[in-house]
């Protein structure tokens, strides 16, 4: 028998009547104990909650524990969190033990994995490019409810956290490219915008969605000649209309990719595929065709990258040269604008955290909220994302049926 989808708000009852549980009333709000640890992986400088967000949560009856120094790299001081009503915690193990919900920017690194508590809620990015089967198995063993930034979806179909970070990534990628084009950074010594009588740099952007769009906007603002390639004609058409046909577009066929990359002073990798690894578009021999001193910024390294010669780098050692081309491949690029990015995260996360509290439990919150439900990749002891199951050869269960059946 075909089980009807519950995606339209769980209002369809046929086939599930014996399994459904009644919704709780709004007056059963639960006080959450929310932990905000200091980020320790990938030289991350963002913090998941700014003091303003902490204040909003405390005002709604929740307890917020912030590890000392969690906001330091984004220039949020400990006193600001205390003034907002948070409790400072000096030891990360103490923070994890006292919290029933952990909200952080990056996924837990190895040392943090040991701090997770059975039955906790983990709200963070997943970073598909670095996800391992062991990480997922560890969460399932602990019956963690894992909610990934990449998967949270608003009612209008957009992915708000992804979009915010992608806007920042697109803009920052061009600022970075301009820096590494400079002679003292080993670049070609070319200005993005050129000057009177001297043509501007050619910036080739792979991908016409949010990262590509904001990279194109920023590059145009500098005065660069911008070429955008994408595998979807509709995305290119939308970009052209949005930017008033001020960019050159082409379908990302091998023919056009080779021509564009060969002419490029800068190549920005911005191609993402929802919930999956970024597709590989530029091959090593295409990179070899670029003029010496060119710059590659692979802005989707957190999704695996879309250029064959890319490999992950860090903020402390962000570049390397291959075929005499400068490569910048830092996975967490929004961390370069840590304060802006932290505010952006806060603006999106706080409403979701409030809704979890209003629901009274994470199970009830997932029942009510399609965005959170879609964001969940591990629920109790089950993997709930088919794409992750395919990546690692694991089994998965439909989260809607798991919630409805109370498994």
Partners of 226 in the β-ladder: 203
Dihedral over alpha carbons 140, 142, 148, 152 (to 10 degrees): 90
- Answer CATH for 26-158+337-405 from 3.40.50.720, 3.10.350.10, 3.40.640.10, 3.90.1150.10: 3.40.50.720
Looking at CATH, the fold of the domain delimited by 170-330 is given as: Rossmann fold (3.40.50)
CA of residue 288 relative to chain centroid, distance: 30
SS (H, E, C) 233-273: HHHHHHHHHHCCCCCEEEECCHHHHHHHHHHCCEEEECCCE
d(CA 361, CA 282): 46
Contact predicate 152/375, CB 8 Å: yes
Q: Any idea where the domains of the chain sit in the sequence?
A: 26-158+337-405, 170-330
d(CA 160, CA 94): 31
pLDDT mean over 196-203: 97
* pLDDT score recorded for residue 288: 98
Percent of the chain with pLDDT over 90: 81
Q: What mean pLDDT value characterizes the chain?
A: 91
* pLDDT score recorded for residue 131: 87
| pLDDT higher than 90, residue 53 | yes
d(CA 185, CA 290): 17
Contact predicate 65/92, CB 8 Å: no
* pLDDT score recorded for residue 406: 66
pLDDT tens, 224-261? 999 999 999 999 999 999 999 999 999 999 999 999 99
| pLDDT higher than 60, residue 389 | yes
* pLDDT score recorded for residue 275: 62
The single-letter DSSP state of residue 195 is: B
The model's confidence at residue 30, banded by pLDDT at 50, 70 and 90, is confident
pLDDT mean over 101-124: 96
Could you tell me the sign of the dihedral formed by the alpha carbons of 286, 287, 293, 299, in that order?
A: positive
The model's confidence at residue 89, banded by pLDDT at 50, 70 and 90, is very high
| pLDDT higher than 60, residue 40 | yes
Given this chain, do its domains 26-158+337-405 and 170-330 carry the same CATH topology?
A: yes
Contact predicate 267/290, CB 8 Å: yes
**Quick one: tokens of 305?**
């990258």
User: How many CA atoms, within 13 angstroms, populate the side-chain half-sphere of residue 366?
Assistant: 25
| pLDDT higher than 60, residue 25 | no
SS3 assignment, position 16: coil
54 phi, psi to nearest 5 deg: -60, -45
d(CA 46, CA 197): 42
**Quick one: tokens of 103?**
């909200």
| pLDDT higher than 70, residue 60 | yes
d(CA 211, CA 308): 19
> What is the longest distance spanned by two Cα atoms in the chain?
76
What is the total residue count of the chain?
407
CA distances from 364 to 268, 340, 350 (A): 42, 32, 18
pTM for the full predicted model: 0.85
């Amino acid at each position: 028998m075909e089980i009807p989808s519950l995606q339209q708000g769980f209002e369809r009852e046929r086939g599930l009547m014996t399994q459904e549980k009644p919704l709780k009333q709004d007056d059963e709000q639960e006080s959450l104990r929310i932990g905000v640890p200091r980020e320790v992986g990938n030289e991350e400088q963002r913090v998941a909650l700014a003091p303003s967000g902490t204040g909003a949560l405390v005002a709604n009856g929740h307890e917020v524990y912030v590890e000392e120094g969690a906001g330091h790299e984004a220039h949020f001081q400990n006193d600001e969190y205390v003034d907002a009503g948070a409790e400072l915690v000096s030891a990360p193990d103490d923070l994890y033990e006292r919290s029933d919900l952990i909200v952080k920017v990056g996924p837990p690194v190895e040392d943090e994995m040991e701090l997770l508590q059975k039955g906790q809620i983990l709200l963070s990015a997943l970073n598909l490019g670095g996800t391992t089967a062991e990480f997922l198995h560890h969460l399932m063993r602990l019956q963690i409810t894992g909610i990934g930034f990449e998967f949270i979806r608003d009612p209008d179909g957009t992915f708000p956290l992804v979009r915010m970070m992608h806007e920042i990534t697109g803009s920052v990628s061009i600022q970075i490219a301009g820096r590494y084009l400079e002679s003292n950074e080993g670049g070609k010594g070319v200005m993005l915008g050129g000057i009177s009588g001297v043509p501007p740099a050619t910036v080739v952007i792979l991908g016409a969605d949010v990262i590509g769009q904001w990279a194109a906007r920023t590059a145009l603002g500098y005065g660069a000649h911008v070429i955008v390639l994408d595998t979807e004609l509709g995305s290119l058409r939308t970009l052209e209309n949005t930017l008033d046909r001020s960019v050159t577009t082409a379908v990302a066929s091998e023919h056009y990719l080779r021509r564009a990359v060969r002419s490029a002073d800068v190549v920005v990798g911005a191609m993402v595929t929802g919930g999956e690894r970024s597709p590989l578009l530029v091959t090593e021999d295409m990179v070899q065709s670029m003029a010496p001193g060119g710059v590659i910024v692979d802005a989707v390294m957190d999704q695996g990258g879309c250029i064959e010669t890319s490999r992950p780098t860090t903020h402390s050692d962000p570049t390397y040269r291959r075929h005499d081309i400068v490569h910048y491949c830092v996975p967490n690029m929004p961390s370069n604008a840590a304060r802006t990015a932290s505010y952006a995260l806060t603006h999106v996360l706080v409403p979701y955290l409030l809704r979890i509290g209003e629901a009274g439990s994470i199970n009830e919150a997932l029942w009510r909220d399609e965005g959170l439900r879609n964001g969940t990749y591990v629920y109790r002891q089950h993997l709930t994302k088919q794409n992750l199951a395919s990546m690692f050869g694991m089994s998965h269960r439909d989260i809607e049926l798991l919630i409805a059946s109370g498994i």
